[in-house]
Structure 1
Amino acid sequence: MSFTKYTKEHWKGSVITSPLPPTLVSCGYEGKENVFTVAWTGILNTQPPVTYISVRPERFSYELIKKSGCFVINLPTEELVRAVDYCGVKTGAKIDKFKETGLHTEESINVSAPLIAECPVNIECKVRDIVKLGTHDMFIADIVGIDAAKELLDDKGRLCLDKAKLIAYAHGEYFALGRKLGSFGYSVRKKSKKKNTAKRSVK
């Protein structure tokens, strides 16, 4: 195999990993509910399923999550990108972002935090630990439930996220996901041999 080689410049350490999922995180405590945008998130472990979000302590949602011990990671679609940006720059301390964006909440099954009805996938999370890192604190959480849109399930009940039109965030910009390049393990997967069904000619 032959690949492109690049000439590099060396910079000091900074935040540059891309792309990331710009998620809508919903939370609530004692009647106060909020939604805010989080791109610093991902998977930490498979069994048990563990995720995280990194949040600045000064953000309005920080105390709601810390006191309630839970939150929901909602995966937004292309049509929600404006709401995603809005929820990332406005604070719930001054406005009702659900009212301003038109997003609707629904009750979660396993946590007290609400989920967002317009997002096709909702990840219900219970906080297991808080790690102080500097500008952000990382909420490490167990994934205790998944709510998936029935519209994205195939006839075998499998989730087809390629139909969801999810979005990505890279270096301050939002992007629609592009074309499929492969699937996990495709580089070593053996190609199936097609049977030759052509009939031999009789002489």
Structure 2
Amino acid sequence: MITRDYLEKVDINKAYRLLNLGATCMVTAEYNGDTGAMPATWVGALDYNPTKCTAVIAKEHYTRPLIEKSGYFAIGVPSVAIAKELFYLGSVSKNDEKDKLEKSGAEFFTLDNSKIPLIDGCIGYLIFKVIPEPHNEQVYDLFIGECVAAYADKRVYKNNHVCFDGVDPKLHTLHYVAGSHFFALGDELKGDGFGLDE
């Protein structure tokens, strides 16, 4: 498996660090046996103790009513290894193709007692309970969630920090620009001055 065999639980008060990367995220949800998955770039950390996030999910997306009905959603932080699957899931709507998830080639699984599908190949997963804010949701398509569980790939997430030093480049995160244009996260810079003057 790409990541699921390497997952460890993460302190939900520190899980916001998975979102600080600014990576493209995978939003998934489930309601009454129906599942949805969609990439999203407008996802960010909002608070900690426990971690909270914001996610902009437009009304036309199939995944949105699943979130509204269930009151929960998950955020995955995809790696380069599943770029093809992520791009497909963002190019096709389940409103048009009911077998979108199967056609994507992505592998899905669940963790613990959650029914929310998670896509294999993410370096981290956060499960959120919706904090209802009807005005924001209707006017701005903006959802707020409180983290109830979090997991990360121990090859990448160590001592409550993401670290790509010496890690297979396929485990680096994806960052969306526009169209089919993405970047993979680059080299790590540390310390005062970041070594740029050397």
Given that 1:20 and 1:170 are in contact with CA atoms closer than 8 Å, whether structure 2 keeps it comes out as: no
Change (3 A) 1:153 1:22: closer
CA displacement 1:85-121 (0-9 Å, x = unmatched): 2111211122323311222222233643222222221
Cα shift at 1:64? 0.5
The match for 1:121 is: 124
Given that 1:26 and 1:36 are in contact with CA atoms closer than 8 Å, whether structure 2 keeps it comes out as: yes
Residue identity (%): 25
- Which amino acid counterpart does residue 102 of structure 2 have in structure 1? K
For structure 2, the residue ranges without an aligned partner over 5 or more in a row are 1-20, 194-198
User: How many residues were matched structurally?
Assistant: 165
1:107 aligns with 2:110: yes
Cα shift at 1:152? 3.2
- Which amino acid counterpart does residue 105 of structure 1 have in structure 2? F
Q: TM-score, normalised by structure 2?
A: 0.73
- Which amino acid counterpart does residue 98 of structure 1 have in structure 2? L
SS at match of 1:144: strand
| Higher RCO structure, 1 or 2 (CA under 8 Å, sep 6+) | 2
Cα shift at 1:73? 0.5
Instruction: Provide the alpha-carbon RMSD of the alignment.
Output: 2.4
Larger Rg: 1
The match for 2:3 is: none
SS at match of 2:144: strand
Measured in 2, the distance between the counterparts of 1:100 and 1:81 equals: 15
For structure 1, the residue ranges without an aligned partner over 5 or more in a row are 1-18, 189-203
1:187 aligns with 2:192: yes
| Higher deviation after alignment, 90-99 or 138-147 | 90-99
CA displacement 1:111-148 (0-9 Å, x = unmatched): 432222222211111101241364x4111000111111
- Of Structure 1 and Structure 2, the greater helix share is in 2
Measured in 2, the distance between the counterparts of 1:161 and 1:110 equals: 28
